[in-house]
Amino acid sequence: MPRVCSVCSHEDRAAIDKALVADASFRTIAKLYSIGAQSVRRHRLDHLPASIAKAEAVSRGVEAIDLLAELKELREKAMSLLLQAELSGDIRTALQGIREARACLELLAEVQGELDRRPTLNVLAVSPQWLQVRSVVMTALTPYPEARREVAAGLMALEAGS
Ligand SMILES: [Zn+2]
């Protein structure tokens, strides 16, 4: 018998999806909604991108469109953190921006992959937003060659789909 996802069938699913998009931890969400952290994790990996993509594709479902808007807002926030870091040379801010941009772009890339239905080996590498973020990150890290090298390696791995 196939197992029903306890998040998909949850009455607060919309709120849970929203929390996931906002990058709340699996544990926090699990506790808040009395579900298993593993279920939340599985739902995030297996169901969330498809569900956002589906709603976007049919242009219906206010909730999922909200989610997309929120994702885009998060991306803006991450971008502005990065720009701020670039101006101030503040590495902590830069790293925070990278983290947010990365989580958010990964999810956007997954959604895009669902929308495309094509093998998407290199969604990140060809996404203009991603290229923009990458270039801002690299510029921001210029005064920190060591961190820059590490971040560059991380970004390459990310683009390669690992
Ligand atoms: Zn699910």
Ligand 1 centroid to Cα of residue 51, in Å, is 9
Q: 36 falls in which pLDDT band (50, 70, 90)?
A: very high
Ligand 1 centroid to Cα of residue 115, in Å, is 18
Burial label, 78 (beta-carbon count in 10 A; 0-12, 13-18, 19+)? buried
The Cα 55–Cα 58 span in angstroms is 5
Mean pLDDT of 32-44: 93
Note whether 135 and 101 are within 8 A (CB).
no
Task: Quote the distance between the C-alpha of residue 132 and its chain's center.
Answer: 16
Mean pLDDT of 17-24: 82
Ligand 1 centroid to Cα of residue 88, in Å, is 42
Q: 120 falls in which pLDDT band (50, 70, 90)?
A: very low
Percent above pLDDT 70 for the chain: 65
Ligand 1 centroid to Cα of residue 131, in Å, is 31
Ligand 1 centroid to Cα of residue 158, in Å, is 25
Kindly report the average pLDDT of the chain as a whole number.
73
The Cα 104–Cα 75 span in angstroms is 6
The two tokens of residue 37 are 């952290």
Ligand 1 centroid to Cα of residue 24, in Å, is 16
Burial label, 144 (beta-carbon count in 10 A; 0-12, 13-18, 19+)? middle
Ligand 1 centroid to Cα of residue 12, in Å, is 12
Q: How many CB atoms lie within 10 A of CB 26?
A: 19
Scanning the structure block, which residue is given the tokens 């390459």? Answer: 156
The pLDDT assigned to 33 comes to 93
Ligand 1 centroid to Cα of residue 29, in Å, is 14
Ligand 1 centroid to Cα of residue 75, in Å, is 24
The predicted model scores a pTM of 0.43
Note whether 66 and 18 are within 8 A (CB).
yes
Ligand 1 centroid to Cα of residue 9, in Å, is 7
Give the pLDDT confidence of 50-96 residue by residue, as tens digits: 777 665 555 444 555 556 666 677 777 777 777 777 777 777 777 77
